[in-house]
Amino acid sequence: MSSPVKSPNAEPSSSHLMGVYSRSALAFERGEGVRLYSTDGDEYLDCVAGIAVNGLGHAHPKLVQALKDQAEKLWHVSNIYRIPEQEQLADRLCAETFADVAFFTNSGTEAIELALKAARRYHAAKGAPERIDVITFEGAFHGRSYAAVNAGGNAAYLDGFGPRLPGYVHLPFGDMDALKAALGPTTAAILIEPVQGEGGARAVSDQDLREMRRLCDEMGALLIFDEIQCGMGRTGKLFACDWAGVQPDIMTVAKALGGGFPIGACLATNEAASGMVPGTHGSTYGGNPLACSVALAAFDEIAKPELLEHVRELAGYFGQQLQGLKDRFPDVIAEIRGKGLLIGLKLIPNNREFMQLARDQRLLIAGGGENCVRLLPALIMTVDEARAVVAKLEAACQVAQDQAAAAGAASA
């Protein structure tokens, strides 16, 4: 048998990891609260939080204890048996939301997969199998599985993976006239992030979310909210759609749900889930006792009114301070975006280069679409810590401004 052909694009021979990430050279050995400590001994303020995953920061004592307690009892059993921890978490999620039922997954992508299946299955069970079209929006990110990348429609994530799947309609972000024109007898659902993350921290207006709800009711379509990144307290309410007072038919949750432990959920009304009968879906690991125990501890903390109030206050502080930075560095920051602690800075210099400037200040920030960087701090960040974040951003802006001025002088 011949040896497999090795790709010229593989990572260096020192690494046996598949080369799908453009990684920073940074590596971390421990975290505490909103700080990460590198293997080189440097301390960083973390405004990435595992991309909005570590909602309660690193090594939160209540999550650590929940993990230890459950790890000594039971990690995994099959879903062919009842799992009490899973039932308790479903009860908590349904009590705090529109939902009647929940299905647990290992990730946000898997939750999206079920949401898409449930929407189409709903119509098929009602005698309308032709209703398969899912309407999504430019800039959307719904995960990396085959169905999820087709839903997102980003050409960079679809290139080279064969033909596009049928049944996905992609519309310009914020174009309600285009949405009204696209709705029709083959529409199964509208799928939207109330606040886009990867797409550049763009918030959908409350008015548009309400209009989507009305249109879905009028057309008999389902409304699906992807709150994987913007949910779980990140905007200052438990879920971002709460600001508009709009209830979806299906909602996907993950990231901060486990506070760093992998878990996702697809929430639905009884009606929207009516097509999902035994045999239509399943998961080996989804909803295991270990994940659900940690998620219960995380949910109890994040759902506390005092924490959500703190998020709103901290978001107000960041908004004021970042607007001040924009005013002082108009050649660096073009626009402040987002909602709550899902904050976007649309930049004039290259966003990836700016991320490195922030890293030089021992500040970690995330990238985003439309040349944005994102601040996704843990919800427990203090005002003093936020003040330090702003100071580091200001220093990075100053360097960016100086570099631009030097480049301009050199080309004159």
What was the pLDDT predicted at 39? 97
- Per the structure block, which two tokens stand in for 408? 């301009």
Is the alpha carbon torsion for 63, 68, 73, 78 positive or negative?
A: positive
- Rounded Cα gap, residues 225 and 112, in angstroms: 10
> Is there a catalytic annotation at residue 226?
yes
> Is there a catalytic annotation at residue 299?
no
Catalytic residue from among 141, 261, 318, 354: 141
DSSP 105: E
pLDDT (tens, 9 = 90+) of the chain, 412 residues, equals 455 544 444 445 568 999 999 888 999 999 999 999 999 999 999 999 999 999 999 999 999 999 999 999 999 999 999 999 999 999 999 999 999 999 999 999 999 999 999 999 999 999 999 999 999 999 999 999 999 999 998 999 999 999 999 999 999 999 999 999 999 999 999 999 999 999 999 999 999 999 999 999 999 999 999 999 999 999 999 999 999 999 999 999 999 999 999 999 999 999 999 999 999 999 999 999 999 999 999 999 999 999 999 999 999 999 999 999 999 999 999 999 999 999 999 999 999 999 999 999 999 999 999 999 999 999 999 999 999 999 999 999 999 999 988 888 888 7
What are the DSSP calls for 305-344, one per residue? HHHHHHHHHHHHHHHHHHHHHHHH-TTTEEEEEEETTEEE
Where b means 16+ CB within 10 Å and e means fewer, 163-172 reads eeeebbbbbe
- Per the structure block, which two tokens stand in for 7? 């790709």
Catalytic residue from among 46, 226, 242, 249: 226
Using CA atoms, how far residue 186 sits from 75, 123, 190, 225, 272, in Å, is: 43, 10, 12, 20, 17
What was the pLDDT predicted at 411? 80
Catalytic residue from among 239, 242, 255, 329: 255
What are the DSSP calls for 30-69, one per residue? EEEBTEEEETTS-EEEESSHHHHT-TT-BT-HHHHHHHHH
DSSP 203: B
Using CA atoms, how far residue 273 sits from 237, 278, 383, in Å, is: 25, 12, 42
Secondary structure E strands in 197-242? 222-226
- Count other Cβ atoms within 10 Å, centred on residue 264: 29
What was the pLDDT predicted at 410? 84
Under 8 Å between Cβ of 35 and 28: no
> Is there a catalytic annotation at residue 255?
yes
DSSP 242: G
Contacts (Cβ under 8 Å, ≥6 apart) of 140: 151, 152, 153, 154, 170, 191, 192, 193, 196, 199, 226
- Per the structure block, which two tokens stand in for 292? 């659900």
Please tell me the pTM assigned to this model: 0.94
